[in-house]
């Protein structure tokens, strides 16, 4: 396929097929799946093999841009970027990096809402690979089991460390917590700034995006209002 050839993608909504160009999907931040799109062979290469591949290809990108990779400041950049992609900012793609979660008996019989707010995270927009910077607010009502508070932060950060759209990130965090805690009573709200909006395209540096998920009792108006009161 030629580099300048326009690709068409389809999205099925209310039995009508809407057709978007790749640019429209990116500029409108349209997501096409709840699960992160992964190939079946995604983990056939180990981390070191992936780093070597990314280093080679990122070097080609830099050279195509006209950068002098013999310069001391630039010559190590392809390897640094490759290691950062695999070991850090996209490490959440690999299931082996999912934080180990231990459940504890709710010995105190605390049956009210638990809220962990202002969980800072850094992610990357899957449309342009530029940062998403935000805070997540997570809550659940225990159903006989609880988890350590730090694990809530780690779950948020695990799913943030992959190419993302905010709606999917919100859903993935909530669904994982429902599975781990064995309860539907989970709420997640994310407030984030997208650099693909701030630094390119419309170049709006003041707006932020809010997404939310309310499961189980959080679908009740009073419970949802209590959660919103706590996160301020």
Is 137 designated active site? no
108 vs 97: CA distance, rounded Å: 31
Q: Are 212 and 191 in contact (CB under 8 A)?
A: no
Is 127 designated active site? yes
Nearest to 184 by CA among 230, 139, 133: 139
Is 29 designated active site? no
Residues 128, 157, 158, 164: which is the catalytic one? 128
Residues 157, 166, 172, 176: which is the catalytic one? 166
Place of tokens 């994310």: 190
Residues 125, 157, 158, 176: which is the catalytic one? 125
Residues 29, 137, 158, 194: which is the catalytic one? 194
User: Could you tell me where the beta strands, DSSP code E, fall in the chain?
Assistant: 8-13, 16-21, 103-105, 113-125, 131-141, 145-147, 163-164, 186-194, 209-214
Residues 29, 126, 137, 157: which is the catalytic one? 126
Q: Going by C-beta distance under 8 Å and a sequence separation of 6 or more, which residues neighbour residue 101?
A: 147, 151, 155, 180
Nearest to 59 by CA among 73, 74, 46, 48: 74
223 vs 68: CA distance, rounded Å: 58
Is 194 designated active site? yes
Is 166 designated active site? yes
Residues 29, 158, 172, 196: which is the catalytic one? 196
Q: Are 170 and 34 in contact (CB under 8 A)?
A: no
Residues 29, 55, 127, 157: which is the catalytic one? 127
Catalytic annotation, residues: 125-128, 166, 194, 196
């Amino acid at each position: 396929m030629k580099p300048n050839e326009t690709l068409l993608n389809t999205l099925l909504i209310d039995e009508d097929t809407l057709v978007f160009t790749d640019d429209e999907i990116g500029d409108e931040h349209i997501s096409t799946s709840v699960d992160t799109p992964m190939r079946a062979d995604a983990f056939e290469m180990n981390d070191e093999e992936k780093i070597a591949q990314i280093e080679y290809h990122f070097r080609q990108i830099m050279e195509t841009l006209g950068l002098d990779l013999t310069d001391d400041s630039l010559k190590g950049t392809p390897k640094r970027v490759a290691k950062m992609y695999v070991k850090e900012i996209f490490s959440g793609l690999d299931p082996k990096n999912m934080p180990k979660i231990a459940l504890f008996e709710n010995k105190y019989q605390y049956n009210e809402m638990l809220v962990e707010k202002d969980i800072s995270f850094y992610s990357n927009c899957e449309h342009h690979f530029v940062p998403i910077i935000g805070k997540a607010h997570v809550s659940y009502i225990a159903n006989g089991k609880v988890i350590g508070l730090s694990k809530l932060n780690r779950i948020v950060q695990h799913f943030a460390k992959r190419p993302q759209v905010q709606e999917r990130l919100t859903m993935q965090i909530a669904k994982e917590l429902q599975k781990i805690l064995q309860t539907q009573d989970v709420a997640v709200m994310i407030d984030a700034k997208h650099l693909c909006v701030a630094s390119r395209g419309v170049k709006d540096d003041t707006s932020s995006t809010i997404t939310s998920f309310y499961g189980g009792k959080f679908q009740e108006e009073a419970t949802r209002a209590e959660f919103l009161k706590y996160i301020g």
